[in-house]
Amino acid sequence: MFSEERWLENEKKCAVVRKPKPGRKRQELLAVALGVKVHTFRGPHWCEYCANFMWGLIAQGVRCSDCGLNVHKQCSKHVPNDCQPDLKRIKKVYCCDLTTLVKAHNTQRPMVVDICIREIEARGLKSEGLYRVSGFTEHIEDVKMAFDREISNADERLEAVHDVLMLLPPAHYETLRYLMIHLKKVTLNEKDNLMNAENLGIVFGPTLMRSPEDSTLTTLHDMRYQKLIVQILIENEDVLF
């Protein structure tokens, strides 16, 4: 059995916590402030700060998630933290760092705040239960997706959809084209039938954009995107076909 003195000595050794080196801790804090993450580069890469080669096979350096700057870990602490975010790297309005978002769009606050408040003050101040009654989850997600889509160029999005349509077999393309022309005529009578492009997307999306995977979770996840694609096809029928 251990003596009491021996036991106390072992307890003290186990209680010792290794403190991180000040330099490493400072570097980690700077990395967080800069929005940089350790990155593994494929192929030869050079540091964009010191212009020296990045040695190693993995985790050779860090990359800024905002502007894409690639530097050594040690060089990251010398890089100014006021980089200009690249819009190509900002994929979403939601789940995005607030400072990064406003710097990317050169605004004082996120545009989504201005748009939502302006819309509420224009036609929603007298709505019963304002800010208390929850909206439908699907509608909320649609609004969020709409804001996220406005970051990308609408013309580029239509061009990408058109390129995919060109890959369809002739029979599939012609059938889809004819159906979209018909559905566009349906939307022209929205006042009577209450069926706009969004509603038609909900109806025809699961049929026209059925997932090859027979999975309930996949189907539920894809429903929103299925509706969106069909909605785009109907609204832009004269351009895409």
Distance CA 148, CA 234 (A): 21
One CATH from 1.10.1660.10, 3.30.60.20, 3.40.309.10, 1.10.420.10 for 34-89? 3.30.60.20
One CATH from 1.10.1510.10, 1.10.10.10, 1.10.555.10, 3.20.20.60 for 98-239? 1.10.555.10
The one-digit pLDDT tens for each residue of the chain (241 residues) are 445 555 455 555 544 444 445 555 554 544 554 456 777 877 777 787 777 888 877 878 887 766 667 788 777 776 666 666 666 656 677 777 777 777 777 788 888 899 889 989 998 999 999 999 888 887 888 788 777 766 756 777 888 899 999 999 999 999 999 999 999 999 999 999 999 999 999 999 988 987 777 766 766 767 878 888 999 999 999 999 9
Phi first, then psi, for residue 46 (nearest 5°) are: -115, 145
Q: Can you give the residue ranges of every domain in the chain?
A: 34-89, 98-239
- Sheet containing strand 36-39, edge to edge, reads 36-39, 61-64, 70-71
Quick one: which of 25, 21, 31, 22 has its CA closest to 72? 31
